[in-house]
Amino acid sequence: MDQQHLLGMTFSEIQKEISELGLPKFTAKQIVDWVYVKCVKSIDEMTNISIRNRDILKKRYDVGRIEPIDIKTSVDGTQKMLFPVKSGKFIESVNIPEDERLTICVSSQVGCKMDCSFCMTGKMGFLGSLTVNEILNQVYSVPDADELTNLVFMGMGEPLNNFDNVMKAIEILTADYGLAWSPKRITLSTIGVIPNLKRFLDESKCHLAVSLHSPLSGQRQTLMPIEKTFKAADIIELLREYDWSHQRRLSFEYIMFNGLNDSQVFARELSKLLSGLDCRVNLIRFHKIPGSDLAPSTEETMIKFRDFLTAKGFTCTIRASRGEDIFAACGMLSTKKTEIQ
């Protein structure tokens, strides 16, 4: 029987397992402290648990930590890590240093079902959802894990298509027995899977980023086929039901494509679509990917677009591009051709 991983279990789940093994109740508290706070890699390191009880644990469990098998470092300091997952596939995570912050961009799936025309992950197709262990392992096993300040679910996959595992990972990250992070240190990015989006809004306090990329439904559908099922207008209608004036932040991601969605006409339509909604808009330069005819907007065009939205009262920023030289920038994560020699 395959060993179960302790990394990825909640405190209550570990309590249940300990009870079934007939071990002292306090062992559960010891285990979560070793796994989630002291960040050990093996049960043998849990030195305040007796050798006998550690041997009992090792028959059924391991910690479940796996180091990245490849690390690439960008000229700007961004690091991209390659992790193996149980399915025999691979995922990528990205560490992004900036001033006093170190943000990890976490994957939630191998590949993605969404098939957005501008995204290399979407070109992989969908190869499976990650377990809670595989999500958390990215956080615990990257370089400088103890220096992480923020986490974004903006890596491979659509987080809301792996809702239960993503939410369980968030629960552990924010729990007192876990990293005890404030939910405000975590941002989930989604194309807007409405049923699970509503659950996310009701069940979490994390920040939200919605991938929009066009204010026009017809054009958005050519870029993002999901528009057929979950229209941007319906997503925004749902978001208007929530209070964004404090606590949780709402932002919209808008990748700019030369001559496609970057004119002042689109800026005007975007301002109409988001009118009255307390939000920010992040403008993102498109990163050229193989097999795509799309091209990035010019810096001048992006500045004009930003200035128009700023004049309309929106907080609008042009996101700095990070890690493009190692294919770690937005929309560039892909492990389709990766093979371990």
Active-site positions?
A: 92, 330
The span from the CA of 176 to the CA of 331, in Å, is: 34
Distances 91 to 159, 244, 331 between C-alpha atoms, Å: 14, 33, 14
**What are 48-55's contacts with CB under 8 Å, separation 24+?**
53/23, 53/24, 53/27
The span from the CA of 95 to the CA of 77, in Å, is: 9
Q: Which two tokens stand for residue 252?
A: 């919209």
Distances 233 to 159, 220, 223, 229, 336 between C-alpha atoms, Å: 20, 11, 16, 11, 33
Beta strands 207-211; 186-190: pairing state: parallel
Q: Which two tokens stand for residue 334?
A: 């892909």
DSSP string for residues in 263-317: SHHHHHHHHHHTTT---EEEEEEPPP-TT----BPPHHHHHHHHHHHHHTT-EEE
Which residues lie closer than 8 Å to 80 by C-beta, 6 or more apart?
A: 71, 72, 74, 92, 93, 94, 323, 326, 327, 328, 333
Q: Which two tokens stand for residue 188?
A: 């989930």
- At 27, the amino acid letter reads T
